Structure 1
Amino acid sequence: MEIYQHYRKNEHPFIDQALSWIDRVEKNYQTKMTDFLDPREQEIVETLARTSMEDLKVCKFGGSKHAERQRVIIAPMYEDVTEDAFQLTLLQGSYHDKFVSLGHRDVMGAFLSLGIKRQKLGDVMAEDGLIQMIMAEEVAPYVLTNLTAIKKAKISLEEQPLSSVVEKEMNWDESNQVVSSLRLDTVIKAIYNLSRKDAADMITKGLVKVNYKVTDDRKLILEAGDMLSVRGKGRSKLIGINGRTKKDNISITTARLK
């Protein structure tokens, strides 16, 4: 199928899944709600839905205005999709941040230790003694009962309305760089001001994600729009590829999350 030519090979299984969702909606005229998808997966679903022979709409909601991970509903155009249809629950808890430091990875690790799959968890916030987790409502009662501690901190979770979500808008710092190629290790080196060896080592150790998926392929050729993250050094994205310089290098525009 020609559509696969526009995506990397590691995205093909998700494309197959998304096409099956769309096909079911087309044939049965019934809505399909997904688990939480990352922004790249959301983009793929939206793109594939536009190729449908039927009039379909794709609605997204993750519990807040700036939610990154969101559930997606694929529906016939005439269906009325409300926020309640996404079946989300916000759980909130507090901890003594003077005695223990908790981060996103700590909260997510505690959630996964309950045996619940990652796709049931949306955005997570942990800072200044406050924890918030948006999740699929079907797993919330189990989490409330069983998640009582994270690291050494005792946690008492309570359900809160989605209107209580602490909104955090992402701020990106854009810059231009010149690189010799669009290889992952070369771009990582430029964005994070690393040596080529350090960039390659971080990739091969599984510390780098491209479009929210870990990759160990340092020779991976990046494309405009790719999202990157390096553990311990933050997130970035390749905004644009601006062409060749006189010395046959490549001018790119990137951004790092502040």
Structure 2
Amino acid sequence: MERRQASSFYPHFEQEERPTIDKFVGLFNQLIFKQKAILTDFLDPGKREILKTIVGNDALIQEYGGYKNAEKKRVYLSLDWENLSPEDYQITPINIEYPMKFEKIRHGSILGSLANSGVDTDTFGDIITDGEGNWQIFVKTELRDFFLEQIDRIGKVRVKLREISFKEILIPEDTSLQKTEIIASLRSDSVLAGISKQSRTQIKKLIENKKAKLNWHDIQDSNIIIKVGDVLSLRHFGRVEITDISATKKGKYKVVLKLWRTRN
């Protein structure tokens, strides 16, 4: 098995993703040199796609994010198959405790407080809620003590973080909406314009400013054709998953989607 060269993967992804490519090529080369399994940080679907492209069929990938259908997951990279348990991914679920009767906390304030605490955002996974004011996060076990001891405020709200068992994990609230839009074109800018009710000129400007993503990667070309299964996101608007596309009698497209609106 040959070592990978990062430069050979550069043409497949955008220039901004080269540091991620460099890191993952380094991990793969370490795997084949030391013959020892590697556990990554929490990776979003876009980064996991890059890792899978680099690894190809030369190593085994298993992933887990702390609960079913997690978006950010830790990846276990190995040369031989291993039967893993949730504990093997070294993920600690944590409950955020605060005076719920008098205060409210939101996803954006939790993310901001964690990101500004001095740790990288890859050290923690999803932030989930049941919609009743209860919030939980998933962190790397090796940094568990840091989160438990150092995070005592979410925004202006005093909080206490408490480690919990996997049995105590919430059933996350599903905030998605099922929608159907009639769209003139399946170009990425046209689809985003139709869904967000903005003009294509506005959408093109957002794309140029790297505020629109397709499958967790910046959209570089407005002419890209959208297909079923694609995930589009627009800064300050939300994220959509395309679940069905069909043609109308008038030559347009009926697009069925799931929409998650941005919540502060």
**Shift in Å, 1:62:** 0.7
Q: Which residue of 2 aligns with 1:50?
A: 56
Sort the Cα spacing of 1:38 and 1:31 in 2 relative to 1 into closer, same or farther, 3 A. same
**Shift in Å, 1:39:** 1.4
Supply the RMSD in Å over aligned alpha carbons.
3.3
- Deviation per CA, 1:118-142, whole angstroms, max 9, x where unpaired? 0001010244222201010122211
Gaps of 5+ in 1: none
- Deviation per CA, 1:14-51, whole angstroms, max 9, x where unpaired? 33432332232223211011100001222332343334
**Shift in Å, 1:198:** 4.3
**Shift in Å, 1:252:** 7.2
Sort the Cα spacing of 1:129 and 1:175 in 2 relative to 1 into closer, same or farther, 3 A. closer
Give the alignment partner of residue 105 of structure 2, picking from 99, 102, 106: 102
Q: Is this contact kept in 2: 1:204–1:218, CA < 8 A?
A: no
What CA distance in whole angstroms lies between the structure 1 residues aligned with 2:246 and 2:116? Answer: 44
Give the alignment partner of residue 68 of structure 1, picking from 68, 71, 80: 71
Are residues 1:41 and 2:16 paired?
no
Q: Is this contact kept in 2: 1:95–1:129, CA < 8 A?
A: no
Sort the Cα spacing of 1:90 and 1:218 in 2 relative to 1 into closer, same or farther, 3 A. same
- Deviation per CA, 1:44-65, whole angstroms, max 9, x where unpaired? 323433342xxx2111011111
Q: Is this contact kept in 2: 1:66–1:168, CA < 8 A?
A: no
What CA distance in whole angstroms lies between the structure 2 residues aligned with 1:246 and 1:5? Answer: 39
Sort the Cα spacing of 1:114 and 1:2 in 2 relative to 1 into closer, same or farther, 3 A. closer
Given the two structures, how large is their TM-score scaled by the length of structure 2?
0.78
Sort the Cα spacing of 1:205 and 1:9 in 2 relative to 1 into closer, same or farther, 3 A. closer
**Shift in Å, 1:178:** 3.3
Q: Is this contact kept in 2: 1:38–1:68, CA < 8 A?
A: yes
Are residues 1:87 and 2:90 paired?
yes
SS of the equivalent of 1:40 reads helix
SS of the equivalent of 2:160 reads coil
What CA distance in whole angstroms lies between the structure 2 residues aligned with 1:7 and 1:210? Answer: 12
Q: Which residue of 2 aligns with 1:144?
A: 148
Gaps of 5+ in 2: 1-6
Q: Which residue of 2 aligns with 1:234?
A: 238
Q: Is this contact kept in 1: 2:44–2:73, CA < 8 A?
A: yes
Question: Is the deviation greater in 187-196 or in 116-125?
Answer: 187-196
Give % identity: 25
What CA distance in whole angstroms lies between the structure 2 residues aligned with 1:84 and 1:27? Answer: 26
SS of the equivalent of 1:138 reads helix
Given the two structures, how large is their TM-score scaled by the length of structure 1?
0.79
Sort the Cα spacing of 1:13 and 1:152 in 2 relative to 1 into closer, same or farther, 3 A. closer
Q: What is the count of residue pairs matched by the alignment?
A: 251
Q: Which residue of 2 aligns with 1:256?
A: 258
- Deviation per CA, 1:160-194, whole angstroms, max 9, x where unpaired? 012211133755636464334624x3221112232
**Shift in Å, 1:143:** 1.3
Q: Is this contact kept in 2: 1:200–1:218, CA < 8 A?
A: no
What CA distance in whole angstroms lies between the structure 1 residues aligned with 2:125 and 2:68? Answer: 13
What CA distance in whole angstroms lies between the structure 2 residues aligned with 1:209 and 1:130? Answer: 29
**Shift in Å, 1:242:** 6.9
Sort the Cα spacing of 1:23 and 1:93 in 2 relative to 1 into closer, same or farther, 3 A. same
